[in-house]
Structure 1
Amino acid sequence: MSDKLTPQEAEKEFWKSLKESNTGMLGIDQPGYHHQPMTGFGEPENGTIWFFTRDDTDFARDVAVGGQNGMFCYQAKDQKVQACIHGVLAIDHDRERIDRYWNPVVAAWYPDGKDDPHLTLIRFEADDGRVWVSDKGALGFGYEVLKANLTKSTPDAGGVSDVNLQ
């Protein structure tokens, strides 16, 4: 892959990767706000990522104010896809999404299960961002670095593209 990654390819790779490796850093997009690790469940058809949270956390209370711009920073476990996505955060109690994405890992955070009074969702309506994709792997990256040093050039580390996920 080279710098000629199209927005459509980047978007496709992002959603595919998020389905396989769905943890990133989510936060309110404002100076001084610290992002936190969150597991997201992506819906490419509508550009939305859903996150389970508890309503008694600082983050959920901050999002509940309404109209908060957010940022989701993502790096796949295999490091082939990285992304930084802007969007709008909102509290949601969509029962269908809770049922759809409920799993044993999520259940561990809610002693009363799906009826836990603190269970809530954060809906992240993705807007725009930047996605980096590299399919070279560790060996390919090492080769690119070696080649660049020998030829006094820069390595081909993959492609990057701005995306609009709306």
Structure 2
Amino acid sequence: MADIAELKQHLWSKMASSPFVMAGLVDSPRHHIPLTAQLDADQVDTLFFFAAKDNRLAPGGRAMVHFVAKGHDYFACLDGDIRIDNDFAQIDKLWNKHVEAWFPGGKDDPNLALLRFDIDSAELWEADMSLGGLARMLFGGKLKGSEEGSHAVVDSTAT
């Protein structure tokens, strides 16, 4: 069972290897949408997303971001505020070939918006099951409480 510091560290390493999330505004009736998170090691508790200026998240406000790791062994629900933050230095720092494919006008594309999501709290789950627990699960046995994995609700994802 991982401790809270490990859970937080695992969040960032899992997101670095598969930065795909679902995000939506809390008070909106519209569905959440898939986005690729841009991670900046210098910005604690912050995710960035390149999006179009007319993206449904562009109006900003309270938002939720949901993450499932590529191996389906880690899950996170992140709560915070999202807003457009077109700081050119940050755009330049995060810019990459994948983003460029979506914005043919480059960093100066008139439709480009850099969304900043500041995390206020998070709920984290990690399935760190033992071999015995995996065998019981495969063959229909009952899991012990100590084999269910790790879980925490945190005010900061900083490690």
Pairwise TM-score range, normalised by the shorter structure: 0.7 to 0.9
1:90 corresponds to: 83
Which ranges in structure 2 are unaligned for 5 or more consecutive residues? Answer: none
2:102 match: secondary structure: coil
User: Which structure shows the higher helix fraction?
Assistant: 1
Q: TM-score, normalised by structure 1?
A: 0.81
Instruction: Compute the displacement of 1:31 (Å).
Output: 5.8
Distance in 1 separating the partners of 2:87 and 2:23: 20
1:74 corresponds to: 67
Instruction: Compute the displacement of 1:32 (Å).
Output: 2.4
Q: Does 1:119 align with 2:117?
A: no
2:137 corresponds to: 145
Verify the 8 A CA contact 1:26 1:35 in the aligned structure 2.
yes
Verify the 8 A CA contact 1:148 1:154 in the aligned structure 2.
no
Alignment of 1:96-115 (within 5 A): 96-115=89-108
What is the aligned counterpart of 1:32 among 29, 32, 35? 29
Verify the 8 A CA contact 2:83 2:115 in the aligned structure 1.
yes
Q: Deviations over 1:65-97 (max 9, x none)?
A: xxx111110001122211001011111101122
Runs ≥4 in structure 1, deviation > 4 angstroms? Answer: 139-142, 152-155
Give the 3 Å change call, closer, same or farther, for CA 140–24 of structure 1 in structure 2.
farther
Instruction: Compute the displacement of 1:20 (Å).
Output: 1.3
Letter aligned with residue 58 of structure 1: R
Distance in 1 separating the partners of 2:102 and 2:65: 21
Q: TM-score, normalised by structure 2?
A: 0.84
Using the TM superposition, name which of 116-125 and 128-137 deviates more. 128-137
Instruction: Report sequence identity in percent.
Output: 32
Instruction: Compute the displacement of 1:157 (Å).
Output: 3.4
CA RMSD in angstroms, aligned pairs only? 2.4
Letter aligned with residue 81 of structure 2: V
Using the TM superposition, name which of 26-35 and 10-19 deviates more. 26-35
Distance in 2 separating the partners of 1:73 and 1:165: 16
Q: Deviations over 1:28-68 (max 9, x none)?
A: 112623110011123455211111011022332x32xxxx1
Aligned residue-pair number: 155
2:55 corresponds to: 57
